[in-house]
Amino acid sequence: MAINFNNIGRMLDLPINQADNKPATQNLNQSSGVDSIGFLPKVKDILSLGSKLFPKLSSNTTSLTPRAGFPENPLSFDNLKYLLKLVAGTIPLTSKLTPDLKNDGKLEQYPKGQNLPTVPKVYAVNGIATNELTRADMGNKTAQFLNKNVNFINNSTEGPAIDLLQCAKELFLGIPTKPTETLANAIYKDLTKNPPEKLQLVGYSQGTIMTTHAVSLAITKMKENGYSDSQIKQLMSENVRVALTGCPVDLTNPGHVVGNVPPGPRTASSKTIGDYFTTEDIFLSGKGEPYGTKINREQGPGELSRPNFEMLRHDKDVVATVIHDFGADDIQSLKSNPGKFLGKLGSQILSQTLASVRDTLNPFGYHMYDNVYLAYMVDHKLVD
């Protein structure tokens, strides 16, 4: 039994352009056994077309796969660590980092025992594989550079590989982490105050994912609580400044965010967080960009010592570079020679880890270089 699809088109009252039709499967693989039927319209999803013709069908179209849906992966989500092992090579799953989960997502003020100006309110989030000591160092350095009190949100580590898993969970599935939730609540609380507080959000590496996600969650929460888009945009663009660097993916490129659902830059609706800022307000460093794009905006009262503060990812941080530079080129390499790719990446990371232990004699064994302050702000003159 065969049917000419043009008939369906007519039944569905669709404008079928013959020129768009492509010849049917004339050179069909014999083994496939698919019949040739003359001409086919470019039917993208027969079911959605059909539901227009037969409205009753729509009652039956819940929890369906899309057309040409991919089968369910036999690996459970927990087994995504295999994916991470794949991309991260031989990153030791249990590093010598001391897990301090009790502090995960907790706010901590820096510098300790010293009161610096608190306006604007600065929130900073660190990246992966950063232990308590390094975070404290980061917090103090950041505060000193900005001459501001810094509200540091602890992104505790469970070891590099598990931290990467967290990144994947947040990026791939939009599952917020504790630091993300803490930051989202803080942003919401600060912006909905009367008057709203001026905020500066600083994220490095995994912290960029968390920061953007937190902003989007805060926007979503504001919308749920009756704020209009224009109100949110006004609040955001007047009060919030975002500084991100060392992001493992380019959050401005939806193609780098899996499933086209970027948890960071996208809010519950189809808008992105960019829609709530003006271009000048966003300071975003893409993947592989050591310095962010510069903002040509005049310094406002109460802002940083200079409006366009720069963040520097230290190039000597080879471990971070290896991880952060994973991208399109590596996917090419992964395709052509996965074994070589894994070997190269793994050996780089392993040798760097060993060098770290050897050079610093630090008991934590990872990311303890003196020059690794994961959000490292430098004076404009130094950057230039």
Partner 1 sequence: MANKELTQMLNTLRRSLPRPLQLHSTAKAAMSMSDEQIYACSALACQLAEQGNTIDAKDLLVGLSVIDPENTFVHSCLAALYMRMEEKDLAAGEFLYTLQLNPQDIAATTNLAELYFENGNLEEAKKYLDKSILLDETGENPFANRAKALKELLVNLEKEK
C-alpha distances out from residue 215 to 170, 263, 308, 342, Å: 14, 10, 20, 35
Q: For residues 45 and 379, which CB has a smaller minimum distance to partner 1 in the complex? A: 45
Regarding 361 and contact with partner 1 (CB under 8 A), the answer is: no
The residue range among 1-9, 211-219, 227-235, 304-312 that interacts with partner 1, by the rule CB under 8 A, is 1-9
Q: Given its phi and psi angles, is residue 258 left (phi above 0), alpha (psi -120 to 50 degrees) or beta? A: beta
Q: Which of residues 255-284 bind partner 1 (CB under 8 A)?
A: 255-260
151: helix, strand or coil: strand
Q: Can you tell me which residue has the tokens 């780098």?
A: 256
Q: For residues 7 and 230, which CB has a smaller minimum distance to partner 1 in the complex? A: 7
Are 117 and 151 in contact by the 8 Å Cβ rule? The answer is no
Binding-site size for partner 1 (CB under 8 A) equals 63
Phi, psi of 296 (to 5 degrees): -95, 60
Q: Which tokens belong to 247?
A: 């992001």
Regarding 335 and contact with partner 1 (CB under 8 A), the answer is: yes
C-alpha span between 306 and 58 (Å, rounded): 57
Q: Given candidates 15, 18, 19, 33, which one binds partner 1 under the rule CB under 8 A?
A: 33
Helix (H) or strand (E) holding 88: helix 80-88
Regarding 347 and contact with partner 1 (CB under 8 A), the answer is: no
Regarding 86 and contact with partner 1 (CB under 8 A), the answer is: yes
Q: For residues 233 and 256, which CB has a smaller minimum distance to partner 1 in the complex? A: 256
The residue range among 53-61, 93-101, 130-138, 362-370 that interacts with partner 1, by the rule CB under 8 A, is 53-61
Q: For residues 155 and 166, which CB has a smaller minimum distance to partner 1 in the complex? A: 166
Strand partners, 240: 199
- DSSP string of 101-145? GGGTT-EEEESTT-----SSEEEEE--SS--HHHHHHHHHHHHHH
Residue 126, Cβ neighbours under 10 Å: how many? 29
Are 367 and 355 in contact by the 8 Å Cβ rule? The answer is no
C-alpha span between 136 and 142 (Å, rounded): 10
The nearest distance, CB 118 to partner 1, in angstroms, is: 41
294: helix, strand or coil: coil
* Site track for partner 1 across 133-172, x = CB under 8 A: ---------------------------------------x
- AA identity, residue 142: T
Q: Given candidates 9, 16, 80, 215, which one binds partner 1 under the rule CB under 8 A?
A: 80
Q: Which of residues 187-206 bind partner 1 (CB under 8 A)?
A: none
Regarding 29 and contact with partner 1 (CB under 8 A), the answer is: yes
Q: For residues 137 and 170, which CB has a smaller minimum distance to partner 1 in the complex? A: 170
Q: Which tokens belong to 357?
A: 């232990």
Are 105 and 179 in contact by the 8 Å Cβ rule? The answer is yes
The residue range among 240-248, 315-323, 330-338, 350-358 that interacts with partner 1, by the rule CB under 8 A, is 330-338
Strand partners, 245: 204
Q: Given candidates 300, 302, 338, 363, which one binds partner 1 under the rule CB under 8 A?
A: 338
The nearest distance, CB 157 to partner 1, in angstroms, is: 23
| Residue ranges binding partner 1 (CB under 8 A) | 1-5, 7-8, 11, 24-25, 27-29, 31-35, 37, 40, 42-43, 46-47, 50-51, 53-54, 57, 60-65, 67-75, 79-80, 82-83, 85-86, 172, 254-260, 331, 334-335, 338-339
